[in-house]
Homo-oligomer: A and B are copies of this chain.
Amino acid sequence: MILTVTLNTALDITYRVRELRPYASHRVTSVTERPGGKGLNVARVLAALGHEVTVTGFAGGPAGRAVQDQLTATPGVLDALVPVSGSTRRTIAVVEETAANLTPEATQLNEPGPQITPAEWSAFQDVYEGLLPSVSVVALCGSLPPGVPVGAYAHLIRTARAAAVPVLLDTSGEPLRRGVAARPDLVKPNAAELTELTGSHEPSQATRDVRRRGARAVVASLGPNGLLAVTPEGRWRATPPTRVRGNPTGAGDSAVAGLLSGLIDQLPWPERLTRATALSTATVMSPTAGEFDRPTYEQLLSRVTVTTEATAA
């Protein structure tokens, strides 16, 4: 069993309109809703690959109910979200009908998320500790809602390590900085997060720096340049067969799912990276934002290139 943690879950709503014009009134021609927040996206991809996943974090209000209703209907996903008095945030992506499906030209409106009380944060930690004995790996994903202490991930990493459960961290800013110092097994920053954390624009140097700060392994997702992995077992770069065009929404979450899937299946690093790159690329190429196309994924598995990176001096 894989556990994903999403403290700032969301109901992701997509509106289609003809053309978005500021200060005008718009008829929304179609409305779609699905559970969101990085850990829930990761869980959906894992479930589609045939893994069993438990999701935890917070859910509240009408949007939280909508999220839980949809999770309950997803085979392979177990809902262990903790109820809160505030309302789960909504995110609204406004997409123009004239936009091609493959272009990411959405106008995004993101609610701030519910204020978490100290009692709710404490209730979550109890649930989390209770789940750890039955899971093989835990992924801590995304931003923190208001009220959750900035050192939350550092604390959750120490708890997982004490229970001997490997932990992956995918977040940004100060929660990432503090989380890395708590010695997670794996972090998956993108290029911007890597630079923000280390001050370096050079991925090879920055990933080494992240290991020095405490991470056992680092897999950086570098967009069209694929993945760069720096681990105790070696250094690799995985690249997709061609530069693909499409919508990068959710590509990073698919990479996380690929890494977790490979870890659970006890694959060696090059195969884990192949799986993560193929999933991530198949997500960019999918007509639906954040979904991956299975035939494309399976074709890509044999076409991803993994090369050993020279160890820097």
Which residues of A does B touch, CB under 8 Å? 15, 17, 20-29, 31, 62-63, 65-66, 92, 94, 105-112
Cβ-defined contact, B31 with A111, below 8 A: yes
Cβ-defined contact, A24 with B108, below 8 A: yes
| Residue in B28, B65, B110 whose CB lies within 8 Å of A62 | B65
Residues of B within 8 A of A17 (CB): 109
Residues of B within 8 A of A20 (CB): 22, 107
Cβ-defined contact, A107 with B23, below 8 A: yes
- Assuming A29-B112, A92-B92, A112-B29, is B24 touching A107 (CB within 8 A)? yes
- The list of the 10 closest CB pairs from A to B, nearest first, reads A62-B62, A25-B108, A28-B111, A23-B105, A20-B22, A26-B109, A22-B107, A31-B111, A28-B109, A23-B107
Which of A15, A21, A109 gathers most chain B CB within 10 Å? A109
Q: In the docked arrangement, what's the CA distance between A94 and B28, Å? A: 14
18 contacts between A and B (CB under 8 A): A15-B109, A17-B109, A23-B105, A23-B106, A24-B108, A25-B108, A26-B107, A26-B109, A27-B112, A28-B109, A28-B110, A28-B111, A28-B112, A31-B111, A62-B62, A62-B63, A62-B66, A92-B92
In the assembled complex, the CB of A190 is this many whole angstroms from the nearest CB of chain B, namely 15
Cβ-defined contact, B29 with A110, below 8 A: no
Residues of B within 8 A of A25 (CB): 108, 110
Q: In the docked arrangement, what's the CA distance between A63 and B23, Å? A: 24
Q: In the docked arrangement, what's the CA distance between A28 and B107, Å? A: 12
User: Which residue of chain B is the closest to A65 with respect to CB atoms?
Assistant: B62
Q: A26-B108, A28-B110 are in contact. List 7 more A-B contacts (CB 8 A).
A: A15-B109, A15-B111, A22-B107, A26-B110, A28-B111, A28-B112, A62-B62
User: Which residue of chain B is the closest to A106 with respect to CB atoms?
Assistant: B23
Q: In the docked arrangement, what's the CA distance between A109 and B63, Å? A: 18
